[in-house]
């Protein structure tokens, strides 16, 4: 698990061959390397054995309820925004067998533990973790690895994960990380952090060594990150490259496709519980749960018991669940939240408001996945803006709840982040 805090050591520069060498170095350390790659018309996360598997030259077009790949002319590897999966696929997997039981002919029963504290621990290396997803992992760390009852499966996977973050230089049309204070720069929580500069970017050395070169500024965030970088050919970062990287991230912060209204979302949601706008949302919402499945912070699960036809073998599985499922809140007498209105209100108010009460932060990181993968194009930023507009109208045109000019994540909107730390 990456240490948190400031960078360790001076920044460096990798070229494309160096990035490929980084993938091979991590695999040589026995890690399963997971990174973005193109498959089935999307940029998905999968095991990769070479840097050549990265989606060089692919970008995306995003809109509410729409995702399309598009070709890029600059050959960028990481200019594709958040895809349909997040890293919780590997840290908090969709299905986990908790135990199995077998009955012998003599009636004896053998119970075998599933994945958990005592099982073999997978050792992942994640390549291309976005700053919004770094924040999502930090959120899940608090939910699943903190407190008195940590989740053994998550903690075992998380403790051995090596993270290579990639700062966002190409925000998607549905991204709003700036207004949630979670991007586009990588601040902490990584072992290595990359900022990609393509041939279209200037900022080469004064001796002409790198002007227009496809390269990656690398910052080190942990001792293991420093050790891995030493195994890969690299060169010290120069000021022009660092400046170009900083400019690209700053520029990205100004090109966010979406933004949350600049109010206290926690208070806005709390004051909007009885709003008639929930009925409007409910008329459009299919209650399919796509938003919870693609959300990088949603963590709810349920259990299933299965047996074979003989009844001699049984298994208990844990699988993802969704608060949009009618059975999710089923108690004696029926579900607590029987209407789509109540279920959508539960999800949105939990994500933006009551998450603070449970875990001390917002449950939304501004990745925009819930907007893209909603089949009817419900946009959480537009719905929040509508609640804000109604609150303003109710207040006689004055700013609504929490209208203090701060962002949805409770932090200033300015996002000019430093990427040249440690340069001489």
The DSSP code sequence of 68-99 is EEEE-SS--SS-S---S--THHHHS-SEEEEE
Q: Can you tell me the distance from the alpha carbon of 347 to that of 350, in angstroms, rounded to the nearest whole number?
A: 5
What 3-state class would DSSP assign to 141?
Answer: helix
Question: Which of 5-19, 353-367, 382-396 shows the lowest per-residue confidence on average (mean pLDDT)?
Answer: 5-19
| Residue 1 confidence (pLDDT) | 56
Contact 167, 420 (CB under 8 A): no
pLDDT per residue over 118-176, tens digit each?
566 789 999 999 999 999 999 999 999 988 899 999 999 999 999 999 999 999 999 99
| Residue 208 confidence (pLDDT) | 39
> Does position 360 have pLDDT exceeding 60, yes or no?
yes
Select the more confidently predicted residue: 413 or 216.
216
The model's confidence at residue 210, banded by pLDDT at 50, 70 and 90, is very low
Select the more confidently predicted residue: 113 or 265.
265
The pair of structure tokens assigned to 37 is 């790659």
| Residue 180 confidence (pLDDT) | 97
Q: Can you tell me the distance from the alpha carbon of 243 to that of 341, in angstroms, rounded to the nearest whole number?
A: 49
| Residue 2 confidence (pLDDT) | 52
pLDDT per residue over 76-125, tens digit each?
999 999 899 999 999 999 999 999 999 999 999 999 988 765 566 789 99
pLDDT per residue over 406-424, tens digit each?
444 443 333 333 333 333 3
Q: Can you tell me the distance from the alpha carbon of 77 to that of 80, in angstroms, rounded to the nearest whole number?
A: 8
Cis peptide before 184 (omega within 30 of 0): yes
> Does position 207 have pLDDT exceeding 50, yes or no?
no
DSSP-assigned letter for residue 120? P
pLDDT per residue over 35-63, tens digit each?
999 999 999 999 999 999 999 999 999 99
Residue identified by tokens 């303003």 is 392
Give the range with max mean pLDDT: 130-139, 327-336, 388-397.
130-139
Q: How many residues does the chain have?
A: 424
The model's confidence at residue 378, banded by pLDDT at 50, 70 and 90, is very high
Select the more confidently predicted residue: 403 or 311.
311
Residue identified by tokens 């509508």 is 386
Question: Which of 203-207, 276-280, 285-289, 317-321 shows the lowest per-residue confidence on average (mean pLDDT)?
Answer: 203-207
């Amino acid at each position: 698990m990456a240490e948190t805090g400031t960078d360790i050591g001076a920044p460096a520069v990798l070229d494309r061959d160096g990035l490929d060498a980084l993938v091979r170095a991590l695999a040589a350390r026995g890690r399963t390397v997971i990174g973005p790659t193109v498959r089935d018309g999307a940029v998905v996360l999968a095991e990769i054995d070479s840097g050549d598997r990265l989606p060089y030259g692919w970008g995306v077009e995003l809109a509410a309820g729409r995702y399309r790949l598009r070709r890029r002319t600059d050959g960028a590897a990481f200019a594709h925004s958040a895809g349909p999966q997040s890293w919780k696929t590997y840290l908090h997997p969709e299905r986990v067998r908790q135990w199995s039981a077998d009955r012998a002919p003599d009636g004896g029963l053998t119970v075998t533990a599933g994945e958990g504290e005592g099982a073999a621990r997978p050792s992942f290396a994640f390549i291309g973790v976005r700053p919004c997803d770094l924040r999502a992992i930090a959120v899940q760390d608090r939910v699943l690895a903190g407190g008195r009852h940590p989740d053994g499966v998550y903690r075992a996977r998380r403790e051995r994960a090596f993270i290579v973050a990639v700062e966002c230089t190409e925000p998607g049309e549905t991204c709003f990380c700036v207004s949630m204070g979670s991007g586009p720069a990588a601040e902490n929580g990584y072992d290595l952090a990359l900022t990609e500069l393509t041939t279209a970017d200037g900022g080469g050395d004064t001796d002409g060594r790198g002007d227009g070169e496809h390269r990656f500024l690398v910052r080190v965030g942990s001792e293991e990150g420093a050790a891995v970088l030493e195994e890969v050919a690299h060169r010290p970062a120069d000021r022009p490259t660092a400046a170009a990287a900083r400019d690209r991230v700053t520029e990205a912060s100004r090109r966010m496709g979406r933004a949350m209204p600049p109010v206290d979302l926690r208070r806005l949601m709390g004051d909007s519980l009885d709003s008639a706008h929930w009925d409007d949302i409910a008329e459009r919402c299919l209650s399919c749960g796509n938003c919870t499945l693609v959300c990088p912070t949603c963590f709810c699960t349920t259990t299933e018991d299965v047996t074979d036809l003989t009844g001699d073998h049984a298994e208990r599985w844990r699988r993802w669940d969704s608060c949009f499922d009618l059975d999710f809140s089923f108690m004696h007498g029926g579900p607590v939240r029987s209407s789509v209105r109540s279920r959508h209100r539960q999800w949105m108010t939990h994500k933006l408001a009551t998450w603070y009460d449970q875990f001390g932060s917002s449950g939304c990181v501004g990745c925009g996945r819930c907007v893209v993968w909603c089949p009817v194009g419900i946009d959480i930023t537009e719905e929040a803006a509508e609640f804000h507009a109604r609150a303003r109208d109710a207040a006689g045109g004055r700013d609504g709840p929490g209208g203090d000019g701060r962002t949805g994540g409770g932090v200033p909107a300015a996002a000019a982040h430093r990427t040249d730390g440690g340069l001489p």
